[in-house]
Structure formats: C-alpha cells, structure tokens
Structure 1
C-alpha cells in the first residue's frame, strides 16, 4: 500500500485518508462522511475546514458524492493486486423518518419486540445512528418503556435494551441534548422509582442490567432538585449499598453508586438513612481492597460526609479496620484523600472528646 500513490482528490481533507463514503457540504467541498460528521459534532465554531464558511451541524445537509465514490471504488479494485483494499458501497445513512417509524411501532403490542430490537441494533452500530435517534425522540420513548414496565406489568422484558439505548444516547449527546435529557428525567417522578425497581429486581440475577442502570441513575439524581432528593426512602439507600457490595459489577457502576450517595447525602435525613443502610462498613471494606485512585477518593469523600453524624462515627469506630485503613492512605494516594482522611480523624477526635466529657458528667 505504501508503494501506491493515492490520487490527491481521493483523500479526505480532514483525515488525509482515502474516502470510503465521500459527501459534499453546502460549501462545495467533499469530505469522508465519518470525518466531517465528527467535525460538525465536535467543532465549537461550525465552519467548513477548507473554506471557513459556516456549516449547518445537521448531517442531513451532506450530499453523497456517488460519482467520486464509484471512481474511488474502481481505482481500489484496479489496485487490489498492489495491496489496496476494496471499498464496499456504504449503506444509506439512517434518517429521522426511519427512526420515527420504529418509535411509533413501540405503541403497537405486536410490533413492540421487533421495534426494540431494531432500535437497539441501530444504537450499538455507530455514533451517527445515535445522533439521529436522539433527534427523533428515542430518549423519551426509552424513558416511557422503562416507566411503563414499572407501572403496569412489573416485568423486566426489554428493560436492558431500553437502558442501554438510553445510556448510549446520553453519553454521546451534545450539551443541548444532555440538558434536554436531564430535564426529561428530572421532571419524571416515576423514572427514579423505576430505576430503583430495576436495581432491586436484578440485584442478584443480571449484572449487565445493573451496569446499564447505575450510570443512568447517577445522571438522573444529578438532574433532580433538592425537594424529591430529600424525601428518598431507606429502601432506596439499601438498594444502592447492595450495589456497592457486588464485586461482579463494573467499576463504572460502583463509582455511579458512590456518586449517587454523595449527591443525595446533604438532603433531609439522607445521611442517617445511608448509615442505617450499612454504607460505612461497606465503604471501609471497599477501601481495604485498595481500589484505583478515583474510586478511593469517592470512598473517602462519602466516608467523611457520613462521619459528620453520630451514627456514622459510631459505626466507623466499631469497624476493626476503620482507623487503620484511613491512616494508611494518608500521603500515599492523592491530596483529596489526605484532606478527607484528616477531616475524618478530626470528626472522630471531637466525638471521642465529647464522649469522655459525657462520661465525666
């Protein structure tokens, strides 16, 4: 391949690689579809890389250059003996109309399963599909599927697919789309209960479902205001602590569980409920396993929050390894951990001092 000179007009101006799916922008410049779509998605100032003229972000304004694609394919075939790979004819890009049809099919019971399968396959295929699905209202549809399963039949059918699609949409969304999704789940009171139900239902059966649900729960909690967060029930925290105990889960799922507890800790009586759910003991056990730095920092941040209440300090002192695991992390991991560890010891020492004064009285 290095001995074959690629014709200059076959190379994408962005990637400088031979174009597999050439498309022409409104400025008249041709790029490889993948390269220009990535540029349109990531660029702060959406302009043509060559002419510097403004470009619409919507990839529907990209026109396939069929003539150039055929020339490239013919050239690749002619040079196959020299090590040049053939370029297959690309599939037509997904359109909003295609996606909207599948979303409508979700409302028809006999078409529901097939529509969910199609949407799931499209979501895992490529990022271009995910962006199209986001603009066609798939996020709203997935939230509706999950909450309906919770409200109506209490079965987990298709919940894993819905969670995975929603997570992919959320992780690939731009700022505007993420704000829309936060508003979508933040204003839906049933969605938080639905996710709690999913975690409780799958706590011992399906690790994959929990791995999908926990990052979404984290984002949902971050989108909620303080009023509903202050009225969370003890059962909610027991479910999250049980997730922390499951060592078969991904690191992302466990980190999400810690984030959820940190976010909810300051509201109402949540700190006491988290302690009652057994979080202090589990945090110490988790720290004893010497996890990676980011996870350890989350453990110490939450532990410092919980030690600010009497029940939390008492449980910390009751654990045989509490003092030891905190002291051994000082000056060994990160400044954040040093700060939280010293704060924990400060709270414990004050607590011990007050206990001594009470005994004297």
Structure 2
C-alpha cells in the first residue's frame, strides 16, 4: 500500500521526507542533512557566499534554525502511519551554535589544565556534521589549532591534528596558515614520523595533502626521506590511502623525490594496491603515481622486477576510467621505449595479455596521443618478435 506524504513534509532539495527540518535565513525550510550537503558543495567550489536553493538569494548567515513545530507534525504523522510501514523519526540531539564553538576555542587558547578537554569537545563537535565544520573555519581558530601542533603534549597534538583534518578548510584559509607558519609542512612531517597513533598519522597525512595542494615549489623540491618511508608504510597498512597517493603525486614531478619514493618501495606498494583495489578513484591515483615514478629508470626497473607489475598495469586498461587508460598506456610506452634490446620485456607483454588489451584500445578508440603510443608499443613488440615463431601479433584493422 502506497502512503502519500504531505508535500510540506518533503525537503525542497531532494524530495525525501524531512527528518530534521531547519529554516535558513531566507525563510525556507529544508531537511538538515540535505541543506548541509548543499552548503558543503558551495565550499568545495570555493564560493564565498552560498545561495538558497529555492529563492536563489544569497544567505546572510549560515545558521540553521530548527523548525520544532514542523518536526512535531512529521513525527505525529509518522506515528499515525506506523501501521503502513512508516518508520518513526527520533528527536534530534541538542544543537551546537557558532557561539558555543567560539567560546570553546577561546577557553582552549588560555593556558591551563582544561585545554585538552576543550580540544576533545571541539573534535566531537567537528565530526558531528558539516555545519559545525563551518564554525571552525575562521582564522583565529585555525591559527590556534596549528599552534598546538608545536606543543610538547602528544595528546593535545593528536586532538588538534584530528580536528584540522576534519575541518576541510577552504583554499584561502590554508594559504593564510602556510604564509603565517612556513614551517607548518615540516611540523606535520615530524608528527607523521613520530606519532604512534594510526588515527593521528592518517589525520596528519590528510591535512598535509591539503597543504601540498596549495603550496609552492619550495615546499616540495627538497623533501626528507622519512616522509616517503611513512607514505609507503601508510599504503602498505591501508591508512589514509588516497591522501598518501595525492602527496606522492604532488612530490613526484621533482626528480630527487621520484628517486626517494622508488628507493623506499613506493613502486612495489603501488602495484600491490592496484592488484587489490577495485575503487575507481584509488586506482586512478595509484596508476597516475606509478606513471610518474616510471618516468625515471629506477622506477621502470622496480616495475619490471615485480612479478606482476606489467600484468596489473595491462589488466586495468579499459576497466577503470579514461584517465587510468591514459596513464597505463604511458607506463607501458615508457617501459618499451627504454627496453628496446630486452626481449624478455616484450615476451612478458605478450604473456600477460598486454597486447590484447592494447589492440582493444585501438578498437574502442581514444585520444590521438593514446592511439599513437599504442601503435608505437605494438610496432616495438612486433619488431622484437620478427623472425620468431614464439609470437604472432594480429594487428586490428584500425591499426594502420
């Protein structure tokens, strides 16, 4: 039996039944979760002033006012229709407002025994929902939290870094923090190196990744070996996998960084990750990072040294995304171009099915650059096997 939901009970954004109705500054009522996602999407696009989804008017403030009357009506309606399978809606927890967050930050800024307790309460608030994250995205609050990272108290450092990684600060605020504290990146690397907590390590890696996104070349060119050691360890332990990959991608364009990453086992762990992962974004980042590392001879040597390196690169072609196809073909192109005299490399390409995948790329079609690289690879394989009975390559009709 279909149960008709009163239109007033539906969220204007998603047309789902409201569970926690709140009213914004334009007077329109929304479900809290839906409007918070809307506001968060504006933040990700770095828009300073979000607008109301219905009226399109800019919001004078971001506070969400609970609509208790509508919530009680919805709860009453759910109770009346419980016999038709409608689930009851619980009363939401008490709300936190901006004033309470500011008060907590100011209390934590005062040196005293209560600072750690304040940080713990702030962490609990910031992970609760997107709205609370907005309350902490202020210069004074963020400057204070980054200053705690230089504290000698390990417990306070752990609380502060977890808050920072969860706040999702906009680019302008991150740039300000890095300008005010040029040693912030080095401080985070030190935390990653010494912390015994996997949660704090993951938080530090996540926050470091966001800083590398907006930092200049001086922060990336001369990077310590210790960071690469801990990033490869994070990949091995599956801790903060995507942020670790993003950091490696930011650092890899610099030659010495590529060498350090390879030296500390990044190629091996990237291959292992590609074998075990079916998550598209994770595979894209891993393949893009592997592509960067295979630009150097040491990276290509490690790829070939791994028994499944060429195989997993070939396997991911046409199975993840166009970006993954592009990076995988580029890896195989670099390997073949730099191993023309090594027959075993081309024999392995045939054995693991890379030739079939490359021919399929031509059949499916792609960018001109990808097709040209595939042609070069196939020509090199064909030349390597000229006069040999071991391999016959059937060239697809669109090859020439």
Q: Report the TM-score when normalising by structure 1.
A: 0.73
- 2:238 aligned partner: 249
2:87 pairs with 1:110: no
Q: Secondary structure at the match of 1:109?
A: coil
- 1:330 aligned partner: 314
**Residues 237 and 273, structure 1, Cα contact 8 Å, conserved in 2:** yes
- 1:129 aligned partner: 132
Q: Secondary structure at the match of 2:183?
A: helix
2:227 pairs with 1:236: yes
> What is the Cα deviation at residue 31 of structure 1?
3.7
Give the count of matched residue pairs: 329
> What is the Cα deviation at residue 345 of structure 1?
2.6
Work out which structure has the larger RCO, using CA pairs closer than 8 Å and 6 or more positions apart in sequence.
Answer: 1
**Residues 27 and 53, structure 1, Cα contact 8 Å, conserved in 2:** no
**Residues 76 and 85, structure 1, Cα contact 8 Å, conserved in 2:** yes
Q: Secondary structure at the match of 2:114?
A: helix
**Residues 25 and 62, structure 2, Cα contact 8 Å, conserved in 1:** no
> Within 5 A, what are the aligned runs for 1:212-291?
212-244=203-235, 246=236, 248-250=237-239, 253-267=240-254, 269-283=256-270, 289-291=275-277
- 1:342 aligned partner: 333
Q: Distance in 1 between matches of 2:205 and 2:25?
A: 42
Q: Secondary structure at the match of 2:137?
A: helix
> What is the Cα deviation at residue 74 of structure 1?
5.7
**Residues 165 and 203, structure 2, Cα contact 8 Å, conserved in 1:** yes
**Residues 182 and 223, structure 1, Cα contact 8 Å, conserved in 2:** yes
Aligned pair in 2 of structure 1 residues 10, 160: CA closer, same or farther (>3 Å)?
same
- 1:161 aligned partner: 159
**Residues 232 and 264, structure 2, Cα contact 8 Å, conserved in 1:** yes
**Residues 295 and 334, structure 2, Cα contact 8 Å, conserved in 1:** no
Aligned pair in 2 of structure 1 residues 279, 18: CA closer, same or farther (>3 Å)?
closer
- 1:178 aligned partner: 171
**Residues 308 and 347, structure 1, Cα contact 8 Å, conserved in 2:** no
Give structure 1 stretches of 5+ with no counterpart: 353-361
**Residues 23 and 67, structure 2, Cα contact 8 Å, conserved in 1:** yes
> What is the Cα deviation at residue 213 of structure 1?
2.5
- State the Cα deviation string for residues 198-245 of structure 1 (Å, max 9, x = none): 22224xx4332333222222222222211221122233333333333x
Q: Which of 96, 104, 114 pairs up with 1:94?
A: 96
Q: Report the TM-score when normalising by structure 2.
A: 0.67
Aligned pair in 2 of structure 1 residues 20, 273: CA closer, same or farther (>3 Å)?
closer
Q: Provide the alpha-carbon RMSD of the alignment.
A: 3.8
Aligned pair in 2 of structure 1 residues 264, 68: CA closer, same or farther (>3 Å)?
closer
> What is the Cα deviation at residue 134 of structure 1?
2.3
- 2:357 aligned partner: none
Q: Distance in 2 between matches of 1:295 and 1:259?
A: 10
Out of 102-111 and 264-273, give the one that drifted further.
Answer: 264-273
Q: Distance in 2 between matches of 1:275 and 1:243?
A: 15
**Residues 139 and 173, structure 2, Cα contact 8 Å, conserved in 1:** no
- 1:358 aligned partner: none
**Residues 280 and 306, structure 1, Cα contact 8 Å, conserved in 2:** yes
**Residues 12 and 19, structure 1, Cα contact 8 Å, conserved in 2:** yes
